[in-house]
Amino acid sequence: MLSVHIQKRLPDFFLDVSFSVHREIVVLFGPSGSGKTTILNCIAGLVHPDAGQIALDGQHFFQQGKKPLPVQKRKVGYLFQDYALFPHMTVAQNIRYGMKAGKAGKPGRTDTETGLGRLLATVGIAHLLDNYPHQLSGGQKQRVALVRALATAPDILLLDEPLSALDADTRRQCQDELLRLHAEWNIPFLLVTHDRDEAEKLADVILLVEHGKIIKSRAATSVSQ
Amino acid sequence: MIETNLTPLLLSLKVAALSTSFVFVIGLVLARLMTQRDFFGKHLLESIFVLPLVLPPTVVGFGLLLAFGKNGFFGKLLAQFGIQIVFTLTGAVIASIVVSFPLMYQSAVAAFTSIDRRLEGAARTLGASEWRLFWTVAFPLAWPGLLAGFVLSFARGLGEFGATLMLAGYIPGKTDTIPVAIYFAVEAGQTEKALFWVVIIVSLGMGTTFWLNWWSRRNIRRYAQK
> Residue B28, SS3?
helix
Q: Which amino acid is at A188?
A: P
Residues 6+ apart with CB under 8 A from B188: none
Q: Which of A14, A90, A56, A69 has its CA nearest to residue A158?
A: A56
Instruction: Tell me if A72 and B129 make a contact (CB, 8 A cut-off).
Output: yes
Instruction: Tell me if A87 and B223 make a contact (CB, 8 A cut-off).
Output: yes
Is some CB atom of chain A closer than 8 A to the CB atom of B226? yes
Number of structural domains in chain B: 1
Interface size, chain A vs chain B, as Cβ–Cβ contacts under 8 Å: 55
What was the pLDDT predicted at B1? Answer: 56
Chain A residues with CB within 8 Å of chain B CB? 41, 44-46, 71-72, 74, 76-78, 80, 82, 84, 86-88, 97-98, 133-134, 148-149, 152
Residue B1, in any domain of the structure: no
Residue B2, in any domain of the structure: no
Burial class (CB in 10 A: 0-12, 13-18, 19+), B157: buried
Q: Which of A192, A190, A188, A197 has its CA nearest to residue A161?
A: A192
Please report, in angstroms and rounded to a whole number, the separation of the first and last CA atoms in chain B: 53
Instruction: Tell me if B121 and A44 make a contact (CB, 8 A cut-off).
Output: yes
What was the pLDDT predicted at A55? Answer: 93
Does the interface ipTM go beyond 0.85? Answer: yes
For residue B116, the distance in angstroms to the closest alpha carbon of chain A comes to 8
Q: A157 pairs with which residues across the strands?
A: A77, A189
Is some CB atom of chain A closer than 8 A to the CB atom of B129? yes
What was the pLDDT predicted at A216? Answer: 81
Residues of A in contact with B115 (CB under 8 A): none
Residue range(s) defining the domain that contains residue B16: 7-225
Residue B149, in any domain of the structure: yes
Residue B43, in any domain of the structure: yes
Instruction: Tell me if B124 and A46 make a contact (CB, 8 A cut-off).
Output: yes
Give the Cβ contact number of residue B4 at 10 Å: 4
Regions of chain A short of the pLDDT cut 50: 102-111, 223-225
What was the pLDDT predicted at A221? Answer: 62
Give the Cβ contact number of residue A82 at 10 Å: 16
For residue B214, the distance in angstroms to the closest alpha carbon of chain A comes to 20
Q: Looking at the partner chain, which of B122, B128, B140 has a beta carbon nearest the beta carbon of A84?
A: B122
For residue B219, the distance in angstroms to the closest alpha carbon of chain A comes to 12
Q: Which of B125, B132, B219, B223 to mutate to test the interface with A (most CBs of A within 10 A)?
A: B125
Instruction: Tell me if B141 and A82 make a contact (CB, 8 A cut-off).
Output: no
Distance of CA A140 to the CA centre of its chain: 17
Is some CB atom of chain A closer than 8 A to the CB atom of B124? yes
| pLDDT tens, chain B, 226 aa long | 566 778 888 889 999 999 999 999 999 999 999 998 888 889 999 999 999 999 999 999 999 999 998 888 888 888 888 888 888 888 999 999 999 999 999 999 999 999 999 999 999 999 999 999 999 999 999 999 999 999 999 999 888 888 888 888 888 888 888 998 899 999 999 999 999 999 999 998 888 888 888 888 887 766 555 4
Burial class (CB in 10 A: 0-12, 13-18, 19+), A42: buried
What was the pLDDT predicted at A224? Answer: 40
User: What CATH number should be reported for the domain holding residue B73?
Assistant: 1.10.3720.10
What was the pLDDT predicted at A195? Answer: 87
What was the pLDDT predicted at B226? Answer: 44
